[in-house]
């Protein structure tokens, strides 16, 4: 059981870091690998909706740059939504929170705005968001600013239950709403 929890926690921490590390502009033109199609697929080809086409609504701009997101809430806030016992208090600019009984891993980060994220369009606090459900759990990405000068303008919440009890996306949306409500207005 500890190995599964460790793997889930490792995935929750490394994925947002890897995505943020790749968030930079590069010059040049894309070239297909040998033997591969040069046709491109848009989000509309797959039926998914990128955040930029999800209305892009930011009715409540929030400040997330230089905010320690995980200092905005306490373990009892997570316990009220997820249940169980929080293993360690959340703190910092981004964090992974683990609970026991039920065993879950929650990743909470402020990330670079990525309008190419695809998934189901939802709203959190009146702002456009994208929800991605997978076999492992659920991710919710909330747009916090439409200002092109704001690099870090997205809230990234991921919830990974070890043994799901109910819809993981409902829990993820509650966590996202709790963090969103505690962020300072821009």
pLDDT band at residue 67 using 50, 70 and 90 as cut-offs:
confident
Residues 10-28 have pLDDT tens digits of 444 444 444 344 344 444 4
Give the predicted TM-score (pTM) of the model.
Answer: 0.71
Instruction: Tell me the average pLDDT across 6-11.
Output: 46
Instruction: Tell me the average pLDDT across 85-111.
Output: 91
Give the integer Cα–Cα distance in Å for 93 and 86: 18
Give the integer Cα–Cα distance in Å for 55 and 122: 10
pLDDT band at residue 47 using 50, 70 and 90 as cut-offs:
very low
Q: Residue 7: is its pLDDT beyond 70?
A: no
Q: Residue 30: is its pLDDT beyond 60?
A: no
Give the integer Cα–Cα distance in Å for 126 and 66: 23
Q: Residue 152: is its pLDDT beyond 60?
A: yes
pLDDT at 122: 96
Q: Residue 61: is its pLDDT beyond 70?
A: yes
Give the integer Cα–Cα distance in Å for 121 and 48: 9
């Amino acid at each position: 059981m500890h190995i599964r929890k460790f793997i889930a926690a490792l995935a929750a921490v490394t994925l947002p870091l890897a995505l943020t590390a790749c968030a930079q502009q590069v010059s040049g033109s894309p070239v297909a690998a040998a033997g591969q199609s040069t046709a491109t697929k848009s989000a509309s080809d797959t039926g998914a909706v990128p955040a930029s086409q999800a209305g892009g609504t930011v009715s409540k701009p929030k400040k997330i740059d230089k905010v320690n997101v995980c200092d905005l809430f306490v373990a009892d806030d997570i316990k009220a939504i997820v249940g169980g016992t929080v293993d360690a208090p959340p703190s910092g600019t981004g964090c992974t929170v683990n609970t026991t009984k039920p065993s879950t891993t929650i990743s909470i980060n402020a990330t670079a705005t990525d309008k190419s994220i695809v998934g189901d369009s939802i709203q959190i606090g009146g702002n456009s968001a994208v929800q991605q459900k997978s076999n492992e759990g659920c991710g919710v990405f909330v747009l916090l600013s439409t200002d092109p000068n704001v690099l870090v303008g997205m809230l990234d919440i991921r919830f990974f239950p070890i043994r799901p009890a109910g819809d993981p996306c409902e829990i993820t949306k509650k966590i996202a709403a709790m963090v969103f409500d505690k962020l300072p207005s821009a």
